Amino acid sequence: MNINPFELMKNFQSLQTKLNETQEKLKSVKVVGNAGGDMVQVEMNGRFEVLAVRISPEAVDPQDLSMLEDLMKAAISDALSKLKEAIRLEMSDLTGGIPPGFFGV
């Protein structure tokens, strides 16, 4: 088997360009995680940054803060799950036949 280093470099540069384009696209991805029938919402972008947190007054009970904490965890987990799926879909063109989850996403 004969490997052409120039062809290999060309393929690598093409992959790098596609990766950079995908990273730019992911900057604009936004997801909203919900919990408690939308009583708590967490909005995140493709860089895993929290953009907004919305809490309805019904979710706040000073006598039961653990409920609000649980709703926050659930909303964040929901947002992360949606974001990982969005990233997986965006990266699928780039990764071709590589199995999902190979890169930890």
Q: What is the pLDDT of residues 32-87, one digit of tens each?
A: 999 999 999 999 999 899 999 999 999 999 999 999 999 999 999 999 999 999 98
| First-last CA distance in the chain | 33
pLDDT band at residue 1 under the 50/70/90 scheme: low
* Helix 65-95 with 5-27: angle, nearest 10 deg: 150
Domain extent at residue 45: 5-95
Q: How many domains does the chain have?
A: 1
More confident residue, 45 or 14: 45
**pLDDT score recorded for residue 84:** 93
- Residue 10 belongs to a domain: yes
- Confidence bin at 98 (pLDDT 50/70/90): low
CATH of residue 10: 3.30.1310.10
The answer to whether residue 104 is domain-embedded is no
pLDDT above 70 (res 100): no
Q: Is residue 43 part of a domain?
A: yes
The predicted structure's pLDDT at residue 103:
55
Residue 44 has which token pair?
Answer: 């995140």
In the DSSP assignment, the letter for residue 72 is H
In a domain, 65, yes or no: yes
- Domain membership flag for residue 100: no
Q: Would the pLDDT of 96 be above 80?
A: no
Is 91 among the domain residues?
Answer: yes
Residue 103 lies in a domain: no
pTM of the model: 0.74
